C-alpha cells in the first residue's frame, strides 16, 4: 500500500462579504501521486466545503488553476504531492492567490484585466496575406515552425506575468508579448506597422528588464524570454521598412537560443 504523507496547507482566505482576510491551516494525509487539486477537493469534502479555488481541465491546458505555492506561481493540477515535497523540501505549503489580479474569494482571482492586456497585444493575424493560389500553400521553414509551435503552446495561465519583475503598470506582460512576437514572425501577417507599434510602444518591450523570470516559472516550459529577445533583436530598426526587412530576415533564419 502507498505510504501517506502528512502535509500542512496554510491557505490565504478572503471573504468578500465580510471583507475579511486570514490564513487558515489544514492538516491532511494524502498519497504522493495526488495532485494539489485533489488535495483541495479532499479538504472540501472532509474539512471545509467553503474553501474556494478554481480549476477546469485538470490537465495543464486551461490555465485556470494558477496560484502561488510557497511563493512560486504554478498550476495546482500539475503539482503532485510527492513532487512538491521534494521540490520545496518541506511538508508545509503556503497557498496564495496570484497577486496580479484582484481576489474574488480565497484562491480565486478576477483575470478580466489581465486578459485585456493579452487582447491589447492582438494575439491574432491583424492583416492576413492574400491566400496562396489554389493548390499552393503558405511556406514556413521547419525551424521557424518549431518556434511557432512552442510559442503557441501558451495557455495564458499568467504564471509568467506573476513572476515578471517589470513594475510598469501598463506593461503588457510576458505572455501578451509572446503572443504578439510570434505573429511578428508569421509569414501570413502583413501589418508590421501595427505589430511593431504594439511591441515597441510605451507598454511593450521597453518595459522588460530581460530578467528571464518568465521563462523560469512557465509550467509549459516555454522559453518566454527567448521570444522576447527575438522581438528585441528586431527593435534596432527605427524605420518601418527596416523593421519589415528585419522581420523577413528572422522568418528565414531566426536567431538561436542562448
Residues that bind ligand FES (CB under 6 A): 55-58, 60-65, 75, 77
Looking at beta carbons only, is 26 or 227 nearer to ligand SF4?
A: 227
Rounded to whole angstroms, the Cα distance separating 164 from 144 reads 26
Of 37, 55, 147, 175, the one binding ligand SF4 by CB under 6 A? 175
As given in the structure block, the three cell numbers for residue 144 are 521557424
- The partner residues of 103 in beta bridges, in order of sequence, read 109
Which range, of 2-10, 99-107, 163-171, 190-198, touches ligand SF4 by CB under 6 A? Answer: 163-171
Q: In this complex, which beta carbon is closest to ligand FES, that of residue 155 or of residue 234?
A: 155
| Interaction mask 206-245, ligand SF4, x per CB under 6 A | --xxxxxxx---x-x-x-xx--x-----------------
Q: Check if the beta carbon of residue 97 is closer than 8 Å to that of residue 103.
A: yes
- Grid coordinates belonging to 154: 501558451
> Are the C-beta atoms of residues 125 and 186 closer than 8 Å to each other?
yes
Q: Which three cell numbers stand for residue 24?
A: 487558515
Is 39 or 214 the residue whose CB approaches ligand SF4 more closely? 214
Cα–Cα distance, 179 to 235 (Å, whole number): 17
Gap between the Cα atoms of 103 and 19, Å rounded: 11
Site membership for ligand SF4, residue 24 (CB under 6 A):
no
Any contact of residue 156 with ligand SF4 (CB under 6 A)? yes
Residues that bind ligand SF4 (CB under 6 A): 154-160, 163-166, 174-175, 178, 208-214, 218, 220, 222, 224-225, 228
Amino acid at each position: 500500500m502507498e505510504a501517506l504523507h502528512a502535509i500542512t496547507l496554510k491557505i490565504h482566505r478572503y471573504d468578500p462579504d465580510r471583507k475579511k482576510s486570514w490564513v487558515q491551516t489544514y492538516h491532511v494525509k494524502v498519497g504522493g501521486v495526488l495532485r494539489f487539486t485533489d488535495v483541495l477537493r479532499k479538504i472540501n469534502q472532509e474539512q471545509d466545503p467553503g474553501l474556494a479555488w478554481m480549476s477546469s481541465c485538470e490537465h495543464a491546458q486551461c490555465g485556470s488553476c494558477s496560484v502561488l505555492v510557497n511563493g512560486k506561481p504554478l498550476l495546482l493540477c500539475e503539482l503532485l504531492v510527492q513532487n512538491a515535497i521534494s521540490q520545496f523540501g518541506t511538508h508545509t505549503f503556503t497557498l496564495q492567490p496570484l497577486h496580479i489580479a484582484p481576489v474574488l474569494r480565497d484562491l480565486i482571482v478576477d483575470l478580466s484585466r489581465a486578459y485585456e492586456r493579452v487582447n491589447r497585444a492582438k494575439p491574432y493575424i491583424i492583416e492576413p496575406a492574400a491566400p496562396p493560389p489554389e493548390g499552393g500553400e503558405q511556406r514556413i521553414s521547419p525551424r521557424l515552425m518549431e518556434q511557432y509551435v512552442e510559442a503557441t503552446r501558451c495557455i495564458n495561465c499568467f504564471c509568467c506575468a506573476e513572476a515578471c519583475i517589470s513594475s510598469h503598470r501598463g506593461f503588457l506582460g510576458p505572455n501578451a508579448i509572446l503572443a504578439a512576437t510570434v505573429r511578428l514572425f508569421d509569414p501570413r501577417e502583413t501589418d508590421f506597422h501595427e505589430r511593431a507599434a504594439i511591441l515597441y510602444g510605451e507598454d511593450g518591450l521597453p518595459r522588460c528588464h530581460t530578467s528571464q523570470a518568465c521563462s523560469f516559472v512557465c509550467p509549459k516550459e516555454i522559453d518566454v524570454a527567448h521570444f522576447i529577445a527575438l522581438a528585441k533583436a528586431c527593435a534596432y530598426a527605427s524605420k518601418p521598412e527596416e523593421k519589415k526587412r528585419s522581420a523577413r530576415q528572422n522568418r528565414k533564419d531566426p536567431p538561436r537560443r542562448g
